[in-house]
Amino acid sequence: AETPDAKNLPPNVPEWSQALGEGVVSRPYGRPSKFEADVIRRDVEWLTASRQSSVSFTPLHQLEGIITPNGLGFERHHGGIAEIDPAEHRLMIHGLVEKPLMLTLEDVKRFPRVNRIAFLECAANSGMEWKGAQLNGCQFTHGMVHCVMYTGVPLRRLLEEAGLKTNAKWLLPEGADAAAMTRSVPIEKALDDAIVAYAMNGEALYPEHGYPLRLVLPGWQGNMWVKWLRRIKVGDEPWHTREETSKYTALMPDGQARRFTWAMDAKSVITNPSPQAPIHHKGFTVLSGLAWSGRGTIKGVDVSLDGGRNWRAARLDGPVLDKALTRFYYEFDWNGDPLLLQSRALDETGYVQPTKAALRQHRGLNSIYHNNGIQTWHVLPNGEIENVEVA
Ligand code: MTE
């Protein structure tokens, strides 16, 4: 580490030991140290920074464990952030139900609660990488994912309260933002593990993540997790809204589009070292990363230092939960030679994360969504790192 000024180092008494610090009331809501000021969400200027369509990215290379802090989860808004006064917000449930509901936030909180840790990944995560290596940093290549603990009511309980008619097959959740986001959700998912959440990581949802209510669909593409949830219409067939026709479908090589690609397939990325987090020392090196699968738990992660020729098992550490981020480590000695770092996730269904070449062979070149191909980081002899692809 650099030592620009040795006056605070042993054997001297540091300046912060020589006077009293601030007392408790100076920070009624805690914040990170001012020396962590570069740990922030970032955007890509040319991508989408307008209020009609904006996206920021989680600083994955600066985070530990599996839980994303509430201020650092990526954001994706199609009409900006709705700043909602909960007293003036209602959740309406109507359509093919016996008893339409008009619920206040307080009403929603009177139902039995569940707590669930789940990752949310945008279907467009890594989409800019479809045609080749482009963005230099896992924050940008993989940062459209976050993982928090949600608290809320199972959607099933609300639907039971409303009483589903026998022909109820689909739901249309709608957001209260200027984009009025709507997606068709099959009833099976709603009755399985969907949650109407009002809290994340123990406190109320943040405005950018849907305060006061958002839909949580564990394992499914983030676009369907409607924020600022104001209405759920129950119907007997899908609506084919803009977000599930011209967007969030994948154009295949034969010109046909794949529709309703809900689940996120197994994926992983090495977060450290990576382009924004180069290696500073030869010798013992901690490699760390994240793996996740929308189809269940992560069974294992393999790591390669030579572009996929040889693989070794990484060590999973911390909770390994269904449809949540999973942390992995691989420690090794770096002698200064160039490396091609890769990770490959395996989930409980037996699915193995594919190479980018294998993905393109199947899906062609016209896709953006659902790019879960294996990422390669090229470590140079000086420790700097580039985003590359290997044949
Ligand atoms: N819900 C509403 N109402 N409006 C939106 O723009 N964006 C969707 C989804 N839900 C969106 C929305 C998209 S594309 C994604 S990937 C996730 O919210 C992002 O959630 P986050 O901003 O909490 O990360």
Q: Mean pLDDT lowest for which of 12-16, 27-31, 48-52, 266-270?
A: 48-52
Specify the pLDDT at position 3: 58
Torsion of CA 272, 277, 280, 286, to 10 degrees: -10
Number of separate domains in the chain: 2
Rounded distance from Cα 203 to ligand 1 centre (Å): 19
Specify the pLDDT at position 240: 95
**Alpha-carbon span 310 to 332, nearest angstrom:** 14
Rg over CA atoms, the chain:
23
Last residue of a domain, one of 203, 223, 258: 258
Residue 224 lies in a domain: yes
Do 299 and 249 sit in the same domain of this protein? Answer: no
Do 190 and 276 sit in the same domain of this protein? Answer: no
Helical residues (DSSP H) of the chain, grouped into ranges: 105-108, 138-142, 155-162, 187-192, 356-363
Would the pLDDT of 49 be above 80? no
DSSP structural state of residue 137: S
Residue 201 lies in a domain: yes
Rounded distance from Cα 333 to ligand 1 centre (Å): 41
Do 247 and 299 sit in the same domain of this protein? Answer: no
Q: What ranges make up the beta strands (E) of 141-194?
A: 145-154, 170-175, 185-186
Residue whose C-alpha is closest to residue 284's, from 236, 329, 248: 329
Burial class (CB in 10 A: 0-12, 13-18, 19+), 186: middle
Residue 93 lies in a domain: yes
Where does residue 347 fall: left (phi above 0), alpha (psi -120 to 50 degrees), or beta otherwise? beta
If one counts every other C-beta atom within 10 angstroms of the C-beta of residue 379, the result is: 23
Residue 51 lies in a domain: no
Q: Which residue has the tokens 């600022």?
A: 228
More confident residue, 195 or 257: 195
Last residue of a domain, one of 192, 223, 258: 258
Atom of ligand 1 nearest to the CA of 243: 14
Would the pLDDT of 1 be above 60? no
Do 120 and 240 sit in the same domain of this protein? Answer: yes
Do 330 and 273 sit in the same domain of this protein? Answer: yes
Specify the pLDDT at position 231: 98
DSSP track, 252-310 = -TTSPEE----BPPPEEEEEESBTTB----SEEEEEEEEEE-TTS-EEEEEEESBTTSS
Domain that holds residue 277: 267-388
Over residues 86-125, the pLDDT tens digits come to 999 999 999 999 999 999 999 999 999 999 999 999 999 9
Do 333 and 372 sit in the same domain of this protein? Answer: yes
Do 215 and 309 sit in the same domain of this protein? Answer: no
Binned at pLDDT 50, 70 and 90, residue 371 comes out as: very high
Residue 26 lies in a domain: no
Specify the pLDDT at position 94: 98
CATH at residue 163: 3.90.420.10
Binned at pLDDT 50, 70 and 90, residue 4 comes out as: low
Over residues 172-200, the pLDDT tens digits come to 999 999 999 999 999 999 999 999 999 99
Rounded distance from Cα 354 to ligand 1 centre (Å): 27
Atom of ligand 1 nearest to the CA of 175: 3
Query: Is there an atom of ligand 1 within 6 Å of 221 CB?
Result: no
Would the pLDDT of 2 be above 70? no
- The arithmetic mean of pLDDT across residues 144-158, rounded, is 98
Query: Is there an atom of ligand 1 within 6 Å of 179 CB?
Result: yes
Q: Which residues, listed in sequence order, are joined to residue 97 by a DSSP beta bridge?
A: 164
Do 231 and 282 sit in the same domain of this protein? Answer: no
Cα angle at 148 between 219 and 153, to 5 degrees?
75
Query: Is there an atom of ligand 1 within 6 Å of 143 CB?
Result: no
Q: ipTM of this predicted complex?
A: 1.00
- From residue 344, how far is each of 45, 117, 266, 273, 363 by CA, in Å? 30, 22, 9, 16, 19
